Amino acid sequence: MLFTSHRLGALTLPNRIVMPPMTRSRAAAGNVATVQMAEYYAQRAGAGLIVSEGTQISPQGQGYAWTPGIHSDEQVQGWRRVTDAVHAAGGRIYAQLWHVGRVSHVALQPDGAAPVSSSALLAEGVKVFVDPTGAGPESGVGEMIQHSMPRALGEDEIPGIVADYAQATRNALAAGFDGVELHGANGYLINQFIDSQANQRTDGYGGALRNRLRFLREVVQAVVDVAGGERVGVRLAPLTTLQGAVDDTPQATYLAAAHLLGELGVGYLHIAEADWEDAPLMPVAFKQALRMIYPGTLIYAGKYTAERAAQALAEGWADLIGFGRPFIANPDLPERLRSGAVLNSPDRATYFGGGAAGFTDYPVLEEAVEA
């Protein structure tokens, strides 16, 4: 599926369902995607589009234990098993490329170095998942700890990270992905440059909004140059304040970002809404403004129900809807929504690490009926 326009025609809700990126922390040694991961994604190939879990573009980009990378030959080969399985099942899959920036720990960084960010700011209370005993993902036993104090990237280091994004895109295409999504949300590196309270730089990457959007612009341009805009998406979290990323004028900032991404020819924007209990709803007026400003496809994700999703599509400010946690427990989610079937409930204890339990063993409708 190539995303070039929001005119998708009279598709039904099941045709417009996206499986958004969800960290499951089950990569093997060397942060290589496994055969079990291939099974997991292939089971969910009925989605209109799958976006892979966040996949680090470099060793420096890792922020959690057991997450897959896409910067080594072995990692490319591992992901090829995944994409082959998804394609064999009739699905389409994009790789989500991320660099977590400061949301990391010295235990996860090469040579125990400090994580990097736009600025040397600690986000108090922001935790990362580590494997303190080296037990590995099969154990499912890790620990959430405060992220380490970051250092500010030197201006001369930034082109190297932009180049890492471009190379990760080449690797993703070599691994058989249909395209890539850049993670610019949830307080990770791109977000750390965009949001005013996370960026205290005084050089060409800080201060004025144009400067704070510069890193986003350079990364996107480098990736578009490799893959073509129609195979590139960007995930943004405009009005949330996740992991210490706060902007003083978020609506103005993210409408400007959407305009920029439209100019760069990005195929879709993936808007992450707040998904916690009692979270504030994103104003419909803001979503309508995004539709006016951005000419491509708009995907929304954030605790949608079938009813809310149908309303969003009917009102025209959304083209596709992401269902996150429901996809964990319901590999056949589109069929369940089509038929109005009861959904399985996900087991939170098995979200991160472990084996098949809570990963590839959720029943589909036929199995549930037989049981």
Q: Looking at the annotation, which residues are catalytic?
A: 188
* Three-state secondary structure of 256-320: HHHHHHHHCCCCEEEEECCCCCCCCCCCHHHHHHHHHHCCCEEEEECCCCHHHHHHHHHHCCCCE
Angle, CA 79 vertex, CA 219 and CA 96 arms, to 5°: 30
Quote the tokens at residue 271.
């808007």
- Render 173-193 in DSSP notation, one character per residue: HHTT-SEEEEE--TTSHHHHH
Q: What gap in Å lies between CA 216 and CA 207, rounded to an integer?
A: 15
SS3 50: strand
Quote the tokens at residue 236.
């943004």
SS3 30: coil
